[in-house]
Structure 1
Amino acid sequence: MGLETIDEVKKIEHQATQLERDYQEKLKDMQNDTQERINQLTEEAETEIRAFKEREQEKKDAKLQELKATYQQEQEKAINQLEANFERNKDQLVNAVIEEVMRKYGNS
């Protein structure tokens, strides 16, 4: 009975050692899987952040172009108005000069 008990104890010790190895291996696999998943999620998040930044930059660029176009239109309108005012005032000045010349020298 002593040898059977010793063999049984050795068998139990062997099973316990095997269980410990299996546990450690599964734990290591879980840690590796977890780290891989974290890496994957981090990469996905970084990709989403880059895509978001690119979309926001595109929106900003489009808005900037829109504002630039609006400003250019307003500027062109203001220039045209100034040119029209200049032409109108130039004609009035020329007419005033002609009238003054005619008044001074036309009646001689």
Structure 2
Amino acid sequence: MLKPTPTDTTSPYESPHSRKLHDAAERALDHYLCPGATHDDPRLPSLMFVIAPNIKTEDLLAHACESMASASVMLSDFAAALDTPYRHTLLGIQQVVMLGELAVNRALDNLEAPA
């Protein structure tokens, strides 16, 4: 015995909003499945906090290192004021920041000294 096939003739584009939903779904699928695909509205990065293009790599790394060191100290101080479960989480975050600081320091060490 064969199972009857549904003969629903409802179109996904019957209402005006269904086309918008379909387009949004297509954009979402394209974003994740075709990351190199071109889009109608390319997103431009915000220019609010632009770093000057002529800044030397050594200066950028030094600033990043100082910022990470400050973040590490702030996280450590804040962790001291918290109870155990939250303290452990914050100290874990502090350790990740500290490891990033060490990596940036090594990158600074690896740069050639200016002649």
Q: Under TM normalisation by the shorter chain, which class is it?
A: under 0.3
Query: Which protein is richer in helix relative to its size?
Result: 1
TM-score, L = length of structure 2: 0.26
TM-score, L = length of structure 1: 0.28
Structure with more contact order per residue of length (Cα contacts < 8 Å, sep ≥ 6): 2
Larger Rg: 1
